[in-house]
Structure 1
Amino acid sequence: MTTRRIAIWTMALLTLAAVLWTGWWFYAGRFAIASLQEWAEDQRANGYDVTFARVDMAGYPFRIDLTVRRFGISAPGRFWAVSTDETTVSFRPWNLNRYTLKTAAPVQMIAAALPGTRQSPIVAGSVEGTFHHARDGQTHVLELVAKPISGPLGLSVKEVGLIGERPARRATDHEATALSGRLELVDATAPALFPPGLPNRVTAAVLDFDVLGPEPGQHGSALRRLSEWRDGGGSIEVREIALAWEDLNLRGEGTLALDSDMRPIAAFALDASGVPQTARRFQEAGLIDDRTRRFIELGTGLLSLGRSNSASIRVPISAQDGILYVGPVAVGEVQPLIPGYNPAPAAVAPPPKDDFAPPPPPPTVSEETLGADTPPRPVPVPVPVPSQ
């Protein structure tokens, strides 16, 4: 009898535990769906366009999988937009602060700062990652890996990794860190970014940075919020920037900001190796002559004196007033971060243009104008005749 009672109580306790666990599982899933809907409403109130068809819940009993169908989000004015047909957010019912993300369909992205993406979006075959939603003054951490990636003008990337950290407290001054990130790129091809005759494959690239400055308000367009960040003394401290392109290897650090015309202001110091080999490639491509190549090789030799690696030199690169400098030499122009941005009003308003007015008659040319290039003919002076 005692054994039977123990078995009955055990079954009853197990049944009660299963019922309670099932109730908690459904509660946690519904809470997550409600949080997603609340987040979407908050973004819409701030001017973003967030859409999704429906959310399906699965994964019982030890996991909650929320599959979002036809998800899309775009910034005001479609400054950027991201969309995918199916993405799944998963978490454990006993840990609501850590989520995993995985897409079962390609992810498309457009951005105004990336030419050609409005007509042909950048497409990632798959995206996977995790998000740690920390509390009590800790940081929020997002980790993503996207591969493979294709885009306009022949863009192709094997893999891209992104890590972003955001403090729980809002940045309020120009020295506070609003966002930290690290971007790693592996095996990229971009024919449109390189002149004909040069290799267009980048083996690897790294960008490790901190975004400093007061965070702008939640409302308003992306341009307005970017202007508020700039006017509040915002800047980007690049802790590490690295690039491996054929024989050329760059590694360094620097600072980046924006001027009143939304053009980058930059100051970087880079250690460069493989400069003579790269100069020879430029000569073979017809971009520089033999004399320029020899000057580059001579300058590389002089700058590398006293360094442990004779092939490595320290190169300062800066951008100021829309001009890009390598050392003291101006090498090109720097365009505004937002294409077509020009905040300066015209000094004098142009006269109204009549699209239906007839064109003005062609200017007439006089004989004096035709003979303007020839010296003037001498004018005869009358000679007085003596009176008789």
Structure 2
Amino acid sequence: MLSRYRPLFLALSVMILLLLAYTAYWAAAAWRLSKALAEASGKAAEKNVELTLDHPAVAGFPLRLTVNLSGLRAQWPSGTLVEAGPLTLSAWAWSPLDITLETVAPLRLDLAGSARHAPASGTATGLTGRAELGLDGKPRLVSATLTGVRAQTDAPLAAAEVVVSWTAPAQAPEGPTDPQGRIDLLVRDLDLPGAVPPPLKPRIDQLALSYEARGPLPAKPSVEGMTAWRDGGGTLEIPGARLLWSGMDLRANATLALDGAMQPAGKGTAELSGAETLIDMLVENGSLRPEQAEGAKAGMTMLGRRTDDGRSVLSVPILLKNSQLFLGPLHVATLPPIPWN
């Protein structure tokens, strides 16, 4: 009789053994996490960083590995400070290298001043993030989404959402001009300080930028380090930038480098749709008469082209040379010099 149930007993035994093995695996991983949290402040102190993790606790059994903190505080010798309220880091137990982070408490960042910039501070009402690690423990993707961002600087700014991410290059950089990893920045509903000339609106709908350094940048920018990067063929590739503002849609790409005076120089291409807004602004401030504006709009229509998505765009070259920025033949700005030291 018992022989009839032998397959069932074997199956149950295997399931129990697998459950015990999984429980042991989860417990071992939780122990390593707890040990790393206990050692984190000491390792940070070795780098002169004061790190405080409030009441760290590991939970999430059976499906997840979760670290709960009631607060976090990190301060660097320069005076830069990061503070966060309760936050959670979590990963599926079978995929511990794909980590998510979340907090809904206010965050605070204080940037210490220097010879090149005044002190600044910022806050956010929430943060979600993700880190994808390789088998070697090095990050392949790191992203963070901040909501309710407020920046207190000389010109205070506010944004509904800021998304920033870093993606590692497909292959580890070896040569002097190899990609170092791409940074993507997206800002939504950015409120500008001060008065904005009509018909422009005081809120930018969207600002996006992607860039990637070619060649290893020095950890601390200096004349010597940036000169070596420039002389080694280093460039900054901007495959995409976009501005949505007051009915305008500006898209651009460019390649930048450092010139003989250690200032940015480069060229690219810009495509602008909705440029009529700029002409209307010139009429509002008296730079153009209404009849001149009509002629300008007609000329832009003749020079523009229709894209696949139905936009009428005007394509112009971008040139940055001797700190002078040109859009086509028009000089649009003079950039302040960068004091590397």
Letter in 2 for 1:279: I
Could you tell me how far apart the structure 2 residues matched to 1:147 and 1:336 are? 33
Q: Residues 137, 66 of structure 1: CA spacing in aligned structure 2 closer, same or farther, 3 A cutoff?
A: closer
Seen in structure 2, the aligned counterparts of structure 1 residues 342 and 2 have a Cα distance that, compared at 3 Å, is closer
Distance 1:202 1:185 in 2: 9
Partner of 1:178: 180
DSSP 3-state at the match of 1:277: helix
**Residue 246 (structure 1) shift:** 0.6
Q: Distance in 2 between matches of 1:28 and 1:257?
A: 46
RMSD: 4.2
Residue 63 (structure 1) shift:
1.4
Residue 31, structure 1, aligned to residue 19, structure 2 = no
Is residue 110–residue 117 contact of structure 1 (8 Å, CA) maintained in 2? no
Which has the larger share of strand? 2
Point out where structure 2 has 5 or more consecutive residues left out of the alignment.
none
Residue 240 (structure 1) shift: 1.2
| Structure 1 residue corresponding to 2:190, chosen from 188, 191, 205 | 188
Provide the residue aligned with 1:361 in structure 2: none
Q: Distance in 2 between matches of 1:245 and 1:312?
A: 15
Cα distance, 1:26–1:122 mapped onto 2, change above 3 Å: same
Which residue number in structure 1 is paired with residue 107 of structure 2? 107
Note the 1:27-66 alignment, pairs <5 A: 27-35=28-36, 49=49, 51-54=51-54, 55-66=56-67
Other-structure match for 2:303:
305
In structure 2, how many angstroms separate the alpha carbons of the residues matched to 1:74 and 1:222? 21
- State how many pairs are aligned: 330
Assess, with a 3 A threshold, how the Cα gap between structure 1 residues 302 and 14 changes in structure 2: closer, same or farther: closer
Does the 8 Å contact 1:101/1:130 carry over to 2? Answer: yes
Cα shift at 1:100: 1.0
> 2-side partners of 1:42 and 1:233: how far apart?
36
Conservation of the 8 A alpha-carbon contact between 1:48 and 1:75 = yes
1:212-237 Cα distance to aligned partner (Å, 9 max, x none): 212546xxx46589736556443221
Instruction: Map 1:282-301 to 2 at 5 A.
Output: 282-284=282-284, 286=285, 288-290=286-288, 294=292, 298=296, 301=299
Shift in alpha-carbon separation, 1:39–1:226, aligned structure 2, 3 A: farther
Query: Which residue number in structure 2 is paired with residue 146 of structure 1?
Result: 146
Name the CA distance, whole Å, in 1 between partners of 2:148 and 2:256.
29
Paired residues of 2:73 and 2:83 also in contact (CA < 8 A): yes
Cα separation, 2, equivalents of 1:312 and 1:272: 5
Q: TM-score, normalised by structure 2?
A: 0.76
- Given that residues 276 and 296 in structure 1 are in contact (C-alpha distance below 8 angstroms), is that contact kept between their aligned partners in structure 2? no
Aligned residue in 1 for 2:236: 236
Structure with max Cα Rg: 1
Q: Does 1:91 align with 2:88?
A: no
1:1-388 alignment, distance < 5 Å: 20-35=21-36, 49=49, 51-54=51-54, 55-73=56-74, 77=78, 82-111=82-111, 118-119=119-120, 121-135=121-135, 140-152=140-152, 153-167=155-169, 170-192=172-194, 195=196, 197=198, 198-216=200-218, 221=220, 227=226, 229-230=229-230, 232-258=232-258, 263-284=263-284, 286=285, 288-290=286-288, 294=292, 298=296, 301=299, 304-305=302-303, 307-308=305-306, 311-336=312-337, 341=339, 343=341
**Secondary structure class of the residue paired with 2:125:** strand
Tell me: CA distance 1:163–1:293, structure 2 relative to 1, closer, same or farther (3 Å).
Answer: farther
Q: Is the 8 A contact 1:230 1:258 kept in 2?
A: yes
Query: How many angstroms apart in 2 are the aligned matches of 1:278 and 1:52?
Result: 50
Q: Deviations over 1:60-80 (max 9, x none)?
A: 2221211234434567746x6
Shift of 1:140: 0.4
Q: Work out the CA distance in 2 between the residues paired with 1:137 and 1:32.
A: 14
1:307 & 1:160 partners in 2: Cα distance?
A: 32
- Contact 2:279–2:297 (CA under 8 A) maintained in structure 1: no
Q: Is the 8 A contact 1:325 1:332 kept in 2?
A: yes
Using a 3 Å threshold, how does the CA distance of structure 1 residues 39 and 300 change in structure 2: closer, same or farther?
farther
Give the distance between the partners of 2:234 and 2:77, measured in 1 at CA.
21
Q: 1:71 to 1:167 in 2, by over 3 A?
A: farther
**Structure 2 CA distance, aligned partners of 1:184 and 1:53?**
30
C-alpha distance 85-117 of structure 1, shift in aligned 2 (>3 A): farther
Residue 311 to residue 13, structure 1, CA distance change in 2 (3 Å): closer
Report % sequence identity.
Answer: 23
